[in-house]
Structure 1
Amino acid sequence: MYNDAFNPSRFTKDSELQDILMDSYRSTKVYCEVFHPDIFYVQFGRLHDDIFELIDDKKAKKKVIAAPRGLGKTSIGRAIISKHILFRDIHFAPYISKSEGHAMLQTENIKRELLSNDMIRKVFGSIKISDNPMGIPEEFSKKSWVALGNTIVVPRGSGQQVRGLNWIKYRPDYLMIDDLEDDDTIDNERIRGDRRIWYYGSVEKSVPQFPGIPWELLY
């Protein structure tokens, strides 16, 4: 989900800030440290470096992170989406979790951080202001919201429709799956079977089907 032609001068004329933006664009780790120091205030360790290496791998479309609880995977996932939104890399981002309510909680956290983060507002401006010449309507609710007139974020729960979703001319091009399994049902074979059918039949088939159109899925 990276643009080799990324040009930081669209955001600032300050050469020093341009260098920071370029480093942040190339490295999710740097982005987290620069733009979200209040969230990532503990120094990253070796496991984090392995995760960031996978995240920044341009070749892989489907990525799976297996990490112990407490490592900050959910926080990193939210930062990834905010980064792609701010740098205009993605257009349609479903956030999928074990329930719509849980997914909505995380997408609201992303929205709140983008709206209240002083560094983000200084560099990128308000995400409520569109810079899209198409004049796309600014939907802004818990069910879904549009940032910068360029990206829609939609929370989805396990089993809910993902395949067939379209926004303007876009299909989901960045899918974040987080905490999909419920501790109370993870050992239930029937539920796991239904979830498997839904994942392969709806989630994976929701992305652009034509070759050459970039998309990514992170689980």
Structure 2
Amino acid sequence: MQKRPKITELRFDRWADDLREWIKKSVSPFEDDTPEKQRERKARAEWDRLYFLKTYLPHYFSLPFEDFHEEWSELADIENEVVPLAAPREHAKSTFFTFGVPIHDIAYARKHFIMIVSDTNDQAKGFTLPIRVELEENVRLIHDFGEFKGRKWTDSDFTADGVRVLARGRGEKVRGLKNMQWRPDRVIVDDFENDENVRNPRLVKQGMDWLLQAVLGSLGEGYSFTMVGNKFASRSILAQFLSAKDEEGKALYPGKEYDAIREDGSPLWPELWPLERLEKRRRQMGTVRFNREMRNRVGAEESPIRESWVIYAPEIHVPRKLMVSAFLDPSGKGTETTDYKAIVVVGRDDETGGITDVLHAWLRHATVNEMWAMVWAIEAEFHCGMGVEINMFQDFLLDSYTNYAEKAGSYVNLHKVTHKTEKIARIVNRIAPLMEFGKLRFIKGHSDQDLLVEQLIYIMDANVNDDGPDALEGALSLNASGAVIDISRAPEKREAIMRREGVRPPGGFFGRFRNRTGMKEAVRP
């Protein structure tokens, strides 16, 4: 299929001609059509917006839809609410909301007055003009719905079959506008922010005030108000809409933000953005830029743990003696859909001035048995036991540990730790100074260390898991008072380890745990 023409330097007349030519080449009449087929097609397309888009606008919507497109259709129909939506670049959010939805509204007279709002009037016109040209040239739309052209027919303000479409830029007059007796009943805010204005608190406040006062105040009953875009920054207007809470702590606006990579690691839209393409784009852009554009993760520039502090050791030659410690964050529940289960192993070499290397990181959505399997594998590799946050170590985890140990025929020493201080402050206070002064290194591409680094950089983002940094902080804390481990020795027999470490077989009163202060639990500030 021929590619859609794009506007260049706001040359609207030439762009409109290119669009007309593209539509004529890309959209063919319905084949073997009958009045009955037409009735069935129109009846379904009225309530099934995705079917409408595929049927009448196939040159824009050629790829299979995903579940999130169904959600978008539902979000577009919410009335009398401000609906913010953040989605990745090149996932068709503007094509869907600012092109497809208005045309569907016009075809079935679902709305009376559609207003498209952008940073400037020319940017808004860049959305209204393609709608107008589509209504002029699309043979499928004209065949089923008739001619749309009204008496008012400009690039930025036209009436199509009784429905008015108007382009408006930031700060322009919106109060008192009507289409006959109707005030605007659909407003779509798109391309309203950019990299520059989101960094100016005065412009952010002005934009927010204008949207919530002038624009929202201009709408009629039953309105639909949708703002789509990228978050750009943690204090952008869209980000503030998405994070706003009411008096009960619930989301003030019924919006949603989307990540190009789902929680389970699969791509949001595999047909357009498979993981291979996403990974290539990440390498091209760098992690922080990629996360901002494709994952709606912002705030790295404001993070107390900076990307510039990350040091990668090209190759770690583990010395004969190393201060090694490991820590397990098992997450609060044993289900697949909760936080990452995390294990981090660190080693400190005092002969190098106390530089600590992350030797292994395991950050996964995993079953409890998979977690214990990794615990035993790390013990076999490093023979250092493992700290565990007892706050999260619930009874069912204790039982599953015992069951796994009995099947494995061996036990791993678990050093219980109870945290008393707020988690983020505890993580930042321990890790940030080490990274800032070059005392903590990572191995790029090793185990899950790249993910660990990403979680550290976005430690202040509530949408990014912090289980990896939590486990790293625990390992570093234990390392400060740990014992030197000779990692080159041969693994000891189970009986010898049990005698040396004070571990008893099942039935022993203290058989499951050991800590460095006898059997007293370690309580950390």
Are 1:184 and 2:192 counterparts?
no
**2: CA distance, partners of 1:196 / 1:203:** 10
**1: CA distance, partners of 2:90 / 2:156:** 28
**1: CA distance, partners of 2:179 / 2:195:** 33
Are 1:206 and 2:212 counterparts?
no
Deviation of 1:60 after TM superposition, in Å, equals 6.1
Tell me the SS of whatever aligns to 1:139.
strand
Q: Which amino acid aligns with 2:36?
A: S
**2: CA distance, partners of 1:30 / 1:143:** 28
Of structures 1 and 2, the one with the larger relative CO (CA 8 A, separation 6+) is: 1
In structure 1, the residue matched to 2:57 is 36
Deviation of 1:56 after TM superposition, in Å, equals 4.4
CA 1:61–1:196 in 2, change beyond 3 Å: closer, same or farther?
closer
Deviations 1:170-206 (A, max 9, x none): 1111111111112221111110011111111101101
CA 1:204–1:56 in 2, change beyond 3 Å: closer, same or farther?
closer
In structure 2, the residue matched to 1:25 is 46
Structure 1 unmatched runs, 5+: 1-12, 130-137
Stretches of 4+ aligned residues off by more than 3 angstroms: 59-62
Structure showing greater radius of gyration is 2
**2: CA distance, partners of 1:145 / 1:160:** 17
Aligned pair partner of 1:104 in 125, 129, 132: 125
Q: Which amino acid aligns with 1:218?
A: T
**How many aligned positions are there?**
193
Q: Is the 8 A contact 1:26 1:56 kept in 2?
A: no
Aligned pair partner of 1:64 in 84, 106, 113: 84
In structure 1, the residue matched to 2:136 is 115
In structure 1, the residue matched to 2:158 is 145
Are 1:175 and 2:187 counterparts?
yes
**2: CA distance, partners of 1:44 / 1:35:** 15
More strand by share: 2
Aligned pair partner of 2:105 in 57, 81, 84: 84
Q: Is the 8 A contact 1:99 1:158 kept in 2?
A: yes
Deviation of 1:160 after TM superposition, in Å, equals 1.2
In structure 2, the residue matched to 1:216 is 224
Q: What is the TM-score normalised by the length of structure 2?
A: 0.35
Deviations 1:48-97 (A, max 9, x none): 2322232345x664322221111101111211001111111221111101
Q: Give the fraction of aligned pairs with identical amino acids, expressed as a percent.
A: 24
Tell me the SS of whatever aligns to 1:65.
strand
Q: Is the 8 A contact 1:95 1:154 kept in 2?
A: yes
Deviations 1:154-179 (A, max 9, x none): 10011112122123211111111111
Q: What is the TM-score normalised by the length of structure 1?
A: 0.82
In structure 2, the residue matched to 1:50 is 71
Q: Is the 8 A contact 1:28 1:56 kept in 2?
A: no
Moved more, 161-170 or 189-198: 161-170
In structure 2, the residue matched to 1:157 is 169
Are 1:194 and 2:206 counterparts?
yes
**2: CA distance, partners of 1:22 / 1:53:** 18
Q: Is the 8 A contact 2:152 2:158 kept in 1?
A: yes
Q: Is the 8 A contact 2:77 2:224 kept in 1?
A: no
Deviation of 1:115 after TM superposition, in Å, equals 1.1
Structure 2 unmatched runs, 5+: 1-33, 228-525
